[in-house]
Structure 1
Amino acid sequence: MARHPPPASQSAPLPSSAEPARHRSRSSRASGRVTLSDVAEAVGVSPMTVSRALRGERRVDPALVEKIRATAAQMGYVPDPAARALASQKSAQVLVLVPMLSNTLFVDLIEAVHKELFAAGYHALIGVTHYDRAEEEQLLRTYLPMRPAGLLLTGFDRSPAARALVAASKVPCVHLMELGDGSGTPSVGFSQADAGASITRHLVERGHRRIAFCAGQLDARVMQRATGYRRALQEAGLYDPSLELLWPRPTSMALGAELLDAALRLEPAPDALFFCNDDIAQGALLEALRRGLQVPQRVAITGFNDLPGSDQMVPPLTTIRTPRSHIGTEGARMLLKLIRGEPVDPPSMDLGYELVVRQSS
């Protein structure tokens, strides 16, 4: 490669902000986006030279690199990561799909994922499924053609078409928040069913005999907690299906107040309530406080996930502490190993959970 720009480039002035359009290619005029070819034309070199200069390759003369970078900045050129991935067969993006961002549970997970990926030179591309299989499938159809370096998916509950898309993409993938079925599928999480059984057994051990399960959203992980609840009560000979309040509405503090009211209307009324998530348990505690209902003397209340504020409720909430940040960290580390072609052993990492006993039970 020449050590200096071709003669034509020496007399070519840098484009001013008022006249970048004369250097625009047909494709850039159509899209309104400055392309690599536009920068190359303005400097008077090949697009490959521009690409090498912007990547910092040492084979390009430093003076030319400076000129290319100044021209690119003046023209407002922004690299297209999708085009770069297609050209190089490599990507610095990892697609992360979570059900929602309004729940601290998934915010904590994403923060941990970002920290690990960023340190390794990768960037998280966040998609929100809203617990909707069709929406998740559309996100996969949209982003998989960009050839991300890897996938981090929440759980295993998805449509057959979505599973086929993931399999056909050959993109390294790790499932979060749940454990695999022993088939070798990479996953990092804990047993939702075991955690549900654990907090139910705690209520049984405290002497409660009519324990209701109060749930919203009814996603796969909530129903796994319900499975654990049933198992623990069946073992104790206390299971009563009429004590399951399964409402498909999204969880919220307001829903917790409504579920408390519905539970107390049951005949006979339950003496303990296991809420599927802390936000509805917090709402139930606030409603109990408004009613002057003594907790746990009149009714015990427990939650799940140990969300912020649960330890500040009146009384403080008994719950299951889930390792969402640890799951994000270990899930990202496992994915980075898969991207590098390194073995992952074991493929399913169980990080466990913690029963946090406070005054509400």
Structure 2
Amino acid sequence: MNKKPNLKDVAKVAGVSAITVSRVLSNPDKVSEKLRAKVEQAVHEIGYIRNHAASALASRRSGVIAVIIPSLSNIVFNDVLQGIYSAVKQHHLQVVLGDCHYSPLEEEKLIATLLSQSPEGFILTGTDQTDYARKLLKQSGIPIVQLMELSDSPIDMNIGFSHFNAGVDITNHLLQKGYRKLGFLGARMDTRTQQRLAGFKKAIADFHQPCQSYVVTTTQSSSIRLGGQLLQAVMAESQGQCDAVFCCNDDLALGALFESKRMNLKVPSDIAICGFNDLEASALVEPAITSVASPRFEMGQQAVELLMSAQGQDKHHRSPIDIGYRIVERAST
């Protein structure tokens, strides 16, 4: 069996000392580009595998940040991840990623596991972690960023936008267009979807003219097929009177659009359809779907920058950052 290359082997190939190699690997930003390139070439040449655990103990830096998202299959979180990965490259960091499948208890276990790997920072989706998870994160002493939504009491740092306000605004958009019998289609019903529903109800309650509302929700995972089924359900509940639907995401909105064609409903004259998240497909279908857009890629980038700005500081930036959203009006409304 071949001997596993060590730090001295890298140093010999690079023509520098082992201490220099250690310094380059631990703090690449603090050495010259020429020296870093020389050491990295030697690392690749001999196949050296760095012992991150030992390096973390020696330098108090692990070179990684931990990230937990609710779903790897949801393109919404993929956009956030792309922003995170684009930002960590600038800081020569690696991402340790966990998928909690929308389960607070699974997220709790992942937090404990990832904290055991001594990450330099932690990025989490949402603000509804369990009490034990919050305790673990607060006691870790590392910078924490909760993203996607806003909180009055974040664990540490927070960047996102108000899903409640977005729900109010998109519902008002429908009301201002003259629709008066509105439906809400919701799936999975995680906290962000519940906030959108609360905004929908608030806008209707505050509207100055009489209007009716119909709410059809399920805890099932969201899908295009489910969107069609929920449209059928809301039309049945309203006895065919519903003239607009606010879908909690664009998957449901796409399904509702396809189903409306099967039901011979013209969009938007017979029924208006709007979604949430502004996925690419929403702009490509006919008619194109009105949706709520948020800068998810930039949110991921800014989350990393918040972590980096908090390194070595006892007190971190604690004022939540509202990254905003916008309503993208298209032909479906």
Q: TM-score, normalised by structure 2?
A: 0.85
- CA positional deviation for 1:332: 1.5
Match of 2:50 in 1: 79
Distance 1:77 1:185 in 2: 37
- Structure-2 separation of matches of 1:106 and 1:251: 14
2:279 equivalent in structure 1: 307
Q: Which of residues 97, 101, 105 is equivalent to 2:72? A: 101
Residue identity matched to 2:203 = A
1:136 equivalenced with 2:107 (yes/no): yes
Of 251, 255, 260, the match for 1:283: 255
Aligned length: 315
* Secondary structure of the structure 1 residue equivalent to 2:202: helix
- Asked if structure 1 preserves the Cα contact closer than 8 Å seen for 2:164 and 2:199, the reply is yes
Equivalent of 1:206 in 157, 177, 195: 177
Aligned position for 2:267? 295
Q: Retained in 1: the 8 A contact 2:72–2:99?
A: yes
What 5-or-longer segments of structure 2 have no aligned partner? 26-30
Compared CA separation, residues 261 and 187, structure 1 to 2 (3 A): same
**Equivalent AA in structure 2 for residue 355 of structure 1:** I
Alignment of 1:34-49 (within 5 A): 34=4, 36=6
User: Larger deviation: 304-313 or 291-300?
Assistant: 291-300
Give the deviation of 1:136 after TM superposition: 0.8
Are 2:215 and 2:234, in contact at CA under 8 Å, matched by a contact in 1?
no
User: 1:216 corresponds to which residue?
Assistant: 187
Give the Cα–Cα distance (whole angstroms) in 2 for the partners of residues 268 and 277 of structure 1. Answer: 24
For residue 343 of structure 1, report the CA deviation from its aligned partner: 6.6
Matches of 2:91 and 2:210 in 1, distance apart? Answer: 51
Query: Residues 253 and 282 of structure 1 are in contact (CA less than 8 Å); yes or no, is this contact kept in structure 2?
Result: yes
1:194 and 1:188 map into 2 onto residues whose CA distance is: 15
C-alpha distance in 1, partners of 2:24/2:45?
15
How many Å separate the matches in 2 of 1:227 and 1:239?
A: 16
Change (3 A) 1:121 1:53: closer
Pairwise CA RMSD? 2.8
Q: How does 1:19-168 map to 2 (within 5 A)?
A: 19-20=1-2, 34=4, 36=6, 50=18, 53=21, 55-56=23-24, 74=46, 76-168=47-139
Give the gaps of 5 or more residues in structure 1.
1-18, 24-33
Instruction: Name the aligned partner's letter for residue 290 of structure 2.
Output: T
Percent of matched pairs sharing the same residue: 33
CA offset at residue 88 of structure 1? 2.1
* 1:259-289 deviation line (CA, Å, top 9, x unaligned): 1111111133311110000011011111222
Provide the residue aligned with 1:272 in structure 2: 244
Match of 2:28 in 1: none
SS of the counterpart of 2:50?
coil
Whole-angstrom distance in 2 between the partners of 1:117 and 1:342: 22
In the alignment, which residue of structure 1 is the partner of 2:215? 244
Pick closer, same or farther for the CA change 1:359–1:194 going to 2, 3 Å: same
Aligned position for 1:16: none
In structure 2, the partner of 1:188 is: 159
Q: Would the aligned equivalents of 2:147 and 2:159 in 1 still touch at CA under 8 Å? A: yes
Decide whether aligned partners of structure 1 residues 210 and 56 sit closer, same or farther in structure 2, where only a CA change above 3 A counts.
Answer: closer
- Taking the aligned partners of 2:200 and 2:279, their CA distance within structure 1 comes to 20
Give a deviation string over 1:70-105, Cα, whole Å, max 9, x none: 8x965x541122332133211211111111122221
Q: Deviations over 1:187-220 (max 9, x none)?
A: 1111110000000011111111111110001111
Aligned to 1:333: 305
TM-score w.r.t. the length of structure 1 is 0.79
| 1:212 aligned partner, one-letter code | G
CA contact (8 A) 2:156 2:316 kept: no
1:223 corresponds to which letter in structure 2?
Answer: Q
Pair 113,304 (structure 1): closer, same or farther in 2 beyond 3 Å: same
Give 1:352's aligned residue.
Answer: 324
Structure 1 residues 51, 247: CA separation in 2 closer, same or farther (over 3 Å shift)? farther
**Residues 19-55 of structure 1: per-residue CA shift (max 9 Å, x gap):** 43xx6xxxxxxxxxx485xx769x99xxxx7565454
Q: Per-residue deviation at 1:181?
A: 0.3
Q: How far apart, CA to CA, are the structure 1 residues paired with 2:210 and 2:126?
A: 30
Larger radius of gyration: 1
CA distance 1:298–1:240, shift in 2 (3 Å):
closer
Q: Secondary structure at the match of 2:254?
A: helix
**What SS class does the counterpart of residue 143 from structure 1 fall into?**
helix
| Cα gap change, 1:141 to 1:342, in 2 (>3 Å) | closer
